[in-house]
């Protein structure tokens, strides 16, 4: 099975960190860090194996590269696949459908 390397853009890291900080304020430090590690782990697991199975993002025309999206929990991730590297561009949330 082909494996992809998953990386996070500076924007995605900033957005994820902001969600973590919100979680610390509302859930407490331990729960927020558990959530943070779970989301990163799920993202790496899902995008590390089958990123091309995810659909093209409806707002992909706003980017100069092909952008796909995926829902993880209540968050929408926008990402790009180049060769064997997946780059998470944005971590948008919470997604409410």
pLDDT tens digits, residue range 18-46? 999 999 999 999 999 999 999 999 999 99
Domains and CATH numbers, the chain: 5-92 (3.30.2310.20)
- CA–CA dist 36, 24 (Å, integer): 10
Handedness of CA 51, 11, 82, 1 (dihedral sign): negative
**Distances in Å between the alpha carbon of 67 and those of 23, 28, 45, 52?**
28, 34, 19, 10
Pairing of strands 5-8, 75-82: unpaired
pLDDT tens digits, residue range 46-59? 999 999 999 999 99
pTM of the model: 0.89
């Amino acid at each position: 099975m082909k494996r992809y390397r998953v990386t996070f853009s500076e924007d995605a890291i900033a957005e994820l960190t902001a969600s973590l900080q919100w979680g610390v304020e509302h859930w407490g430090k331990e729960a927020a860090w558990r959530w943070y590690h779970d989301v990163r782990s799920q993202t790496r697991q899902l995008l590390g194996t089958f990123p091309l199975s995810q659909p093209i993002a409806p707002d992909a025309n706003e980017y100069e590269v092909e952008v796909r999206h995926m829902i993880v929990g209540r968050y929408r991730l926008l990402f790009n696949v180049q060769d064997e590297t997946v780059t998470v561009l944005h971590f948008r949330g919470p997604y409410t459908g």
